[in-house]
Amino acid sequence: MCELLGMECNVPTDIVFSFSGLALRGGLKGPHADGWGLALYDGRAARLFLEPTAAAHSPLARYIRDNPIKTLLAVAHVRKRTRGPVTLANTHPFVRVLWGRQLVFAHNGTVRGARNLPVGRFEPVGSTDSEHAFCALLHRLERRFPRYPGATPELWSAVARIGGDIGKRGSFNFLLADGDHLFARCATKLHYIIRKAPFKNATLADEDLSVDFAEVTTPRDRVAVVSTAPLTRDEQWTAGVPGSLWVFRRGRLRATLPSL
């Protein structure tokens, strides 16, 4: 299985601390050595870093950790291959354009028979069930919403409903970002934390690396972080209920919806 990481904020924030924890699990503290990727939003566009190698030993991943890039929305992934060879085309997260913006998607699990799902104009580039499921999700969203519906409960409900439908084919933990929202679906295991004032010290679960968030934030900052497993050992993370979808916007949990 793979591991997911998402971040959604109300002020531009770097993901260095959380990404450092995820990268350790990409071939050093965990078996997810078959590729890694990171998408950082700037408005409606996403800057994408991908490699079909182990993040823990990657000079590019080290460069990202040493050169913070601030963003309001980020999605990251470390892969342990189950379907499809280890190639750049099969490395998460995947990106497609819909409604004049880039949508970013990363998946943990297996979707059986994903290639039988209609994808419309969203053709997969690689051979994973994950990318095919993403294309199928976008196809159904486009049919439902010819134009971007904005921050409306209708969009949130549609993502939850379609995610639940595709999820009936297997394990469909995913992160989906549209430039304004971070959607996080829990099928088996997913956790989140919202860091806000009063900020405290945090230590990575897999290494003695700590940060005092009070020194690098302001009292108005809110940062939502989603991860397959908690990344820190001294913070209280909330576990997801299988068959549910979280919606984050501006550093807040806006909704928890059934996704069955």
C-beta of residue 225 within 8 angstroms of C-beta of residue 211: no
| Residue 2 is among the residues annotated as catalytic for this protein | yes
- CA 13 from centre of chain: 16
Of 2, 9, 135, 186, catalytic: 2
For Cα atoms 174, 180, 185, give the angle at the middle one, nearest 5 degrees. Answer: 20
- State the CB neighbour count (10 A cutoff) for residue 126: 17
Order the strands of the 101-108 sheet from edge to edge.
94-98, 101-108, 173-177, 182-186, 244-249, 252-258
In whole angstroms, what is the distance from residue 81 CA to residue 70 CA? 30
The answer to whether 62 and 68 are in contact (CB under 8 A) is: no
**Continuous H helices in 71-191:** 129-144, 153-167
Enumerate the active-site residues.
Answer: 2
